[in-house]
Chains A and B, each alone.
Chain A
């Protein structure tokens, strides 16, 4: 088991390296750097000014070297102009003596995530703050989504082909066919607009960042939860119907065990192994949902930061965002693998 986790972890790190390099490469294409220079300097810069701006801020080095510096395996760049040193690891122009005191390496290995050009703040503080907001959203999404999906799946799967099964299955197909931007718009239209007049909830979740209440937080949570719910419910249903036809269920039934006891004591445990993996693998999709819903409801969390960073080519923030999301995705894959083995003793790692 230890070796298995170790191997998976090394693959994970390698994947993360590859992905961040791709992000790095795409954000450091000439056209993107030119856009960055113009948004940071001014929009009417000439080509020569753009080049000198890029030179001055260390963007004109080869991509691989810049990537190494970001990682912290290559020494950060320095540049001396008229006895004033600027550099990656140095804040502002300083004298050469002070520059010698500054650390040579500053990348994510050293814990330095860089500086966001859009928010004008340390990347680590931005990501930390926004991630905690999104964490709260995700927590409530899971609290709502997982139990209701499992309930729908089990209820539909325990008696295959009945009216309950048919209607619950249709509901779960309907939710998988409704992406967040459609269900969100429909919910906002029905529950918040003055045109319909129900006004049960608030159409934005901006106030939920400081003070989440049922009124301003339920709709975003419901919107994300619905899209994932149908898929998990269908998987649970499939696994439940399979279990219900197994021999030991028939034996239990012939022994005269009540239907309730068959479902709860015999079937449920075995039926919940497959959905576990599915729930874990839903995380990458939830991440998408978070971006859409945070934009739709104006909740300034991690997804909102992703949109801002990508829209403004904020390289270091974008890299941090992709590192976090890639780590989330890969960690959930690892957990689902380990959990699957743990839950299902028939599978041996080899």
Chain B
């Protein structure tokens, strides 16, 4: 087998990514065809910047999802193949087995693993954490920011103080303190998870109750159904192997294993919790500011006059009208979360040492950077393009939402 030339490498990578291209073309064709009926999402396709950004983001989303389904990857991201250590892109395998892909498309890293496969698997590490973390940060920020902005006074002072407290912490110091095996042992992340994950439930409960409390016959079954499901999911999230908290000294029993369908790896949980924890004060400040601005509008006064409750006004009058800046910030926040996850990987915190996430891969690759570029550069450029895509998407959304 001869090594591949640069052109061949590019062609083979493009071919390997063909499911992603198909999905992207399909998505764009559908979206552009129906863009007038799709609201703000459809309007995105009027702005070239937004379209480029969205394409970059969706490229990595599809790559991550297909990668997780083992579709794009050429080799196992953890297995080491002898003779492939630090080999340059396009090197053929020394003795490929039957049916095995014959080249390392982007070369091998210092442990003789395939860089291309790790790159794609790394996308999944980001895609599975970053958006969810942003959603949870928004739930916490909205649930606390709305009353702080609406009521003001002592509640506002207290919550703002707490938010400033967290914001005054250098993020890296916080990560170094929170994301360590010792802290995981002591159960602190589990307590934080229990507190932080309650907020979506509170949010849902208040959201539905404030809307339907005048119709008890609809409200009661709806609330029981939705909250039952939410609390069940919550318990599955926070309890691991039948325990809420399990340390050397004591343990608290949680959901019985029979009802617990998924367990979260404690290392992943602590990463998730810390990222949510770091992001929510910023969201809180944005929501609080928007609420203080919007609560002086006439439609809020109208709702107050017709006797709506404060939570109805906050969640059904103020929140929908604050959606523009919030959607834009949501995109930026996913990007920021991606950067934070990369930082964690870069410092080797939380995630497993052989984990294919981009931050860890960059950190592994940088040590050999003066001789070999190929292990460190692809994940660096991948992270750059994903965050750039999210920023462009946010910019496009901002432009389009301002046109209303």
Contacts and interface: CB of A to CB of B under 8 A. Distances in A.
Interface of A: 11, 15, 18-19, 22-23, 26-27, 29-32, 34-35, 173-174, 176-179, 181-182, 185-186, 188-189, 192-196, 203, 284, 287-288, 291-292, 295-296, 303, 306-307, 310-311, 313, 318, 321-322, 325-326, 329-330, 333
Contact of B176 (A31, A292, A306): A306
B342 A181 contact: yes
A292 B346 contact: yes
Nearest to A26: B177
Contacts of B249: 30
Interface in B281-314: none
Contact of B359 (A23, A32, A181): A181
Contact of B186 (A18, A31, A291, A333): A31
Contacts of B366: 185, 188, 296
Contacts of B392: 173
B205 interface: no
A307 B342 contact: no
Given A26-B178, A287-B172, 20 more contacts: A19-B169, A29-B182, A29-B186, A29-B188, A31-B185, A35-B182, A177-B388, A178-B384, A179-B383, A182-B362, A182-B380, A182-B381, A185-B377, A192-B369, A195-B371, A288-B172, A311-B176, A322-B173, A326-B168, A329-B168
A11 B395 CA distance: 36
B384 A330 contact: no
B155 interface: no
Interface of B: 161, 164-165, 167-173, 176-178, 180, 182-183, 185-186, 188, 249, 335, 339, 342-343, 346-347, 359, 362-363, 365-366, 369-373, 376-377, 380-381, 383-384, 387-388, 390-392, 395
A17 to B, nearest CB: 10
A287 B171 CA distance: 9
A292 B339 CA distance: 12
Nearest to B169: A19
Given A173-B388, A177-B335, A311-B176, A31 B182 contact: yes
Contact of A189 (B170, B346, B373): B373
B377 A189 contact: yes
A126 B363 CA distance: 27
Nearest to B88: A195
Contacts of A195: 370-373
A288 B171 contact: yes
B292 to A, nearest CB: 16
Contacts of B384: 177-178, 182
Contacts of A30: 186, 249
A19 B185 CA distance: 22
Contacts of B347: 295, 307
Given A185-B380, A195-B373, A291 B172 contact: yes
Which of A173, A307, A318, A329 counts the most chain B CB atoms within 10 A? A173
B60 to A, nearest CB: 13
A174 B182 contact: no
A172 B212 CA distance: 46
A15 B168 contact: yes
Given A26-B183, A173-B395, A19 B168 contact: yes
Contact of A188 (B182, B183, B369): B369
25 contacts: A15-B165, A18-B165, A26-B178, A26-B183, A29-B183, A29-B188, A31-B182, A173-B388, A176-B391, A179-B339, A179-B383, A181-B343, A181-B363, A182-B362, A185-B366, A192-B369, A195-B371, A196-B373, A287-B170, A288-B172, A288-B343, A291-B172, A292-B172, A306-B173, A326-B170
Contacts of A31: 182-183, 185-186
A145 to B, nearest CB: 18
Contacts of A318: 173
A329 B166 CA distance: 11
